[in-house]
Structure 1
């Protein structure tokens, strides 16, 4: 996604120049979204990993090898044989896809992930359909790595697990998402403290709890829904030249420089991401969160990395998602369209369809 070569030297030069120009402004004026709790060493839920205990009953996730063991209301039927066993780089062909539907037929999801023209695969995805304290919960995430795959892989392995163990996951889902994003970022940086690398990753996630859909975004992956026949973006790409983002970065002592495109410190072409230790505190993992009521107007959801959005418009994506009966087919077609139009990035897409008129599997 971005070039990280000479990162340390560029950041140090940018930071030094910003420090000379701004002086005491380095430590003041950090803008924080209204729904975000500022990052501290403790969020008031320290040790939340042990809180959940038996709260969470996992029915299916994208790494399960035996989804047939799912039982009860959320028993799932697999659309693609052996899809969950495929590696996330798609194996030798660089391609992976699969999909599932809920037994009652009211929720279907499919994914497609393609290495494309890149030599390596830095995209990851996660799909979990589960129960927490008897409440049906569905979680979908696309993680687009840069400077390496480790940050994106870490998010796949830990972000949703951490979120479901947050003590306020069901009662204050927005707060739980915000705190979990930031703590998972801190955990990743700590886990990589001895590594001579500076991986980063976006995260575009959708969490369905009861009749509420929560979409959280960090970076330039994107979530778009179809509502009453119209495309509606539920995230705004975090670009350094966004007026509010540029102000936040400069208030924190950073600089936004044109280097082929607008970049934080002349290095990173997005203003929020997980990881990127050398660009903290200018590049943050504080999510922007949108909430939507799941009613008869909500038809579909498309989550994708920027490898898709670089070549496909929002309206086109949700239109195709609505016309395909099988969401896996929609996801595959979207990745193929983006690739055929010249997308040079990894391409990962998750399509979720809401079937409000279904009463049985």
Structure 2
């Protein structure tokens, strides 16, 4: 049965800052509600907005967070552990670049960093349940991505071992999510080992089809890879538990294509845009998700190479609202139908 998507909602990560109203949970959710958002996805790596360690220790703190959101008129859609998930698996090529995602006391110590990230993910499972949430969103991390292009030739077994190790790290984490009845919607994203449908299947197979391994669907990353993002929904809809509404455009020319030639975002053939400014077919996406019964949140993730985040947020709420389908329980041609009559059916078929 088709379901109705909830929204609009806003991922707060790209808006958090040192100036009000972006420097506290109370002020930022009030700002979001004022723009028409009904839900907020809360990052757990910015203590100005949400303290994951405190939430894991205190029911009272979780209730306070829920109260702040309720007073503003918004719901918590999910909590995000993207940065911690990234640190569950880091190839040495990215070691220095991703070190900044960890507390300063752990930087330079990859083993301790991975242990910290793993514990953060387990805490997020417990906290999600305390907040009454059935879903969280994250990244898988990456061991194999530096070897994406098959030159130099990859040695036999390299990719298999990378996904086996990724599964060894994630299985005990996902088991904790299973204990708490919470899904992990992995954002399928270049830079992660799971960046398209084929790699998601490899990850899922390595995890023996773990029940809590799910998808945070974001079409922008698929458009930039030139993947059929509508067909993706048809294939994987049973695993989609979250939805980032983000736009993108791909304009190849004689100088660059999918890889975009190391250019800055403004000059790339493939770049992220604010909602409605790119090429993503959101009418098709919302229709396809509704057809398959997706009834969770549509969450704006703002990333744009041109437009300010404030303008993107202002325009995003009505854009999402326009695309949410009030799913009908009637067929358009019901008026022409009639009661079932076995004799009439046989007469119409000439079998009476």
- Relative to the length of structure 1, the TM-score reads 0.33
Could you say which structure has the higher strand fraction?
A: 1
- Relative to the length of structure 2, the TM-score reads 0.33
- Larger gyration radius, structure 1 or structure 2: 2
Higher relative contact order, chain-length normalized (CA < 8 Å, sep 6+) = 1
